[in-house]
Structure 1
Amino acid sequence: MMWIDQLDWPILLIAGFFLAVAPMQPEPHLVEKLRMLSEGTLVKPLDIFDLLMHSAPLALIAIKATRQFVLGQ
């Protein structure tokens, strides 16, 4: 997991922000896919891929923050 430690914070934060809110109109994909997941309608492979793609940078931010600030690595 050393490659996560080498990722720059600004790049991760920018990617996380833009993929979390893209596209802004009519509603962000991440919000739409999480709503579909909670309703049980997230069944198409493309929708599942969309959820994973839009949430991946946020997961990397969480992993990097945990490694850096909690574990002190």
Structure 2
Amino acid sequence: MRLLDKLPLTTALILAATLGLAPFLPEPHVWEKLRMLGAGELRAAIDIFDLVFHGSPWVVLAAKLGRMAQIRVAG
């Protein structure tokens, strides 16, 4: 939790906006992989890696926002 507390929100936002959405055209990889997952087509190892790689900044951002809300409520 300490690492998450030390991570600036702006850094998490920048990571999600850049790495999380790259490449921007024709569509973000994370969106493409989520569609593939929903359709049951996410089978290749590279596609699973892409989902984890481009999805992890969004998970970190969500965890950071959740931690900030938890601290606000408890504090």
TM-score, L = length of structure 2: 0.87
CA RMSD of aligned residues (A): 1.3
Identity among equivalent pairs (%): 42
Deviation of the 1:8 alpha carbon = 1.1
- After superposition, residues 34-49 of structure 1 pair within 5 angstroms as 34-49=34-49
Partner residue of 1:7? 7
Given that residues 21 and 28 in structure 2 are in contact (C-alpha distance below 8 angstroms), is that contact kept between their aligned partners in structure 1?
A: yes
In the comparison of the two structures, how many residue pairs are matched?
A: 72
- Between the aligned partners of 2:44 and 2:9, the Cα distance in structure 1 is 33
Partner residue of 2:23? 23
* Gaps in structure 1 of 5+ consecutive residues: none
Given that residues 21 and 30 in structure 2 are in contact (C-alpha distance below 8 angstroms), is that contact kept between their aligned partners in structure 1?
A: yes
Question: 1:15-55: CA deviations, max 9, x gaps?
Answer: 10112321112111011100100010101111111101111
- Between the aligned partners of 1:62 and 1:21, the Cα distance in structure 2 is 15
Deviation of the 1:72 alpha carbon = 1.0
Deviation of the 1:10 alpha carbon = 1.1
TM-score, L = length of structure 1: 0.89
Structure 1: which 4+ aligned runs deviate by more than 2 Å? none
Secondary structure at 1:43 match in 2: coil
* Gaps in structure 2 of 5+ consecutive residues: none
